[in-house]
Structure 1
Amino acid sequence: MEPSINDVARKAGVSTATVSRAMRGLSNVNPATAERVRRAAAELGYSASPAAASLATGATRTIAIVCSQLNTWFVANVCQAIVRAAHNEGFTTSVLALGVGTLTEAREGTRAPVQAAKLRRRADAVIVVGLPLLPGEQAELSGLSIPVIFVGPAVPGQASVHIDEYDSARQATQFLLSRGHRTIAHITGPADDDTESGPPHLRLRGYIDALAAAGIAPDYELVAHCDYTRDAARKATRDVLRTRPDTTAILGFSDIQAAGALAGAADLGLAVPDDVAIMGIDGSELADALGLTTLSQDPTQQGEAAVTLALDLLTGAPVPDNIVFPTSLLERTTT
């Protein structure tokens, strides 16, 4: 069996990340440690993958980040973490922001296309952040001869970093049920932006299954589809509450949509949480400022994990298909 990066790390008494840096000749490794790593690699007969070897001899040392827009909380925080982590490993980053990020815009051509061939020439690895992809785009990226990591929407069979979208919405709905709510609305993304592996579909399933487990049949009058903006969620909330004034709680797909729900409830003169309880999913600074109950995730950890995956793939280390980060409940004044 061929020796692996893990074998070298064990023999040298260091982490796989240190082996990766030492084998690529980066300056942020103690010289004595680097020599110990190289000696262990030589004794084991280990050599880095061709992709990693090319890095040490003049490849781009660039990680390309492909995302929708940089002005959303999740994407911005993941991208910042990627830039910092890549810099610490001796890499630069380039960012390709394609604009509005729904599948509708991609199909209609109002979102810039993913140009996979250009990415291959300009980067040693690609990290896709929070971007729903058309099947052709996904196939092009997956077919590149360089590492491609997906953060946010998981891609089956590809290295992905994400939270458990289904279980997050299920937990959030269970929390609202535990507070005695039986008529719970869900403000989610556009109806045609709903691939089976995408967060909107998975969170909707989690919401429905939590209700079903409590003996509550799905009621699609309580599910409102809208764009991923505060204003769209505000209008969707008003529509739901006018149609179903018996609604006592609302789960937003994200904190920004939950913020829109707060505004929509206020427009109708409803008090939160006395008349209607509202919560989101994200754990953003906005949720903190609004006193919004939310299920919190850590985008910084996800960005850092994506860089680690990319470097491990470049050095030939085995990596999992999925790294799933936990979420945690932050109960505040809106429930």
Structure 2
Amino acid sequence: MGTKTQLFIIATIILAAITTIFLPVIITTISLAHHHQPLSNTPPDFPHDASQFLRSNGFNFIANLIHISPDLFISTPKATIFAIPDSIMSNLSIPPYMTIELVTYHISPNKLTIQDLFHKPLNTCFPTMFQQQQISITKQDQQNQLLEINNVLITHPDIFLQPSVAIHAVSGPFASFKLLPQINQLPICNNINQTQRLDVIKIKAEWKMMVKFLTSSGFTPFAFWLYNVLDGIIKDHLNLHTMTIFAPPVIEIMEMGPSVVHQLLRYHIVPKKYSFKHLASMPEGASIMTLCPGKEIQITGTVVNVSDELLSINRVEITSPDLLSSRSFVVHGIARAFAMDWAAS
């Protein structure tokens, strides 16, 4: 999705939120019971008809968004939309770009009526418009007409149907934003590709949190270049679940070619978590493998008393030990970047 398109959609998200709050709800002449009957022979005016139906049932945020930016919902020939209640949308403290992610995670590029969903086996996964991520049928009870997607109940099945579009109302969002400001806690579908995609999302979320922290802690140049090579590192190391990062405050790479930049950044990352105490307990001369293929860093100075916090790697002093630590990674601030005399431009 291009930058201009993202900016336009962000604007529509904000406008949809404003109109949801400040415009009076448009009441249609059609009265719908709790289990709503779908329209038959509906005209092709999807934005108007869908908006009217959703507003009449209290889904004003999604109704306004469909009215303002219908292309967000019908960018494919067919679609299924899962409408999140206003009460949920108004209580989500997330930025506009994440609202876009959340909404597109509730749109599937296939038309699926409630009967289509009941006919699929339990735990069936199907795609959404959010980064090719999938959602899953997690509960089925056709006798009582109960069906859950991502453990979220469909409260109003087939609230709106047209030949190419189906809309169902749900009790809440299919994803959460706990721990990290990214979509997480997604059900894992029964195929390896989906599992890998979920791993990538989680890894990226944690890396981005680390980059943000480094940027605000005096390591902006290193954080900037780390972010620029992030996709390549993740692509090459999908199973990288623990790591140690040595972050210099200044990094001189203006004269370096792209391949050397990649080597330099990876030379400062170790595919295992080493706290300062762990590093200090290692003997002088001990080598540690980095993400730069075939290249190691070395303990060149140890401490007698760990509390002195004096330790050098490749003759570069660790100035800010355990600067940032989580279950899977630790960041140590170092005085300067490691030298790479062996690297060729």
In the superposition, the TM-score normalised over structure 2's length comes to: 0.27
Select the structure with the greater relative contact order (CA < 8 A; seq sep ≥ 6): 1
- From the CA coordinates, give the structure whose radius of gyration is larger: 2
Structure that is richer in helix per residue: 1
In the superposition, the TM-score normalised over structure 1's length comes to: 0.28
Structure that is richer in strand per residue: 2
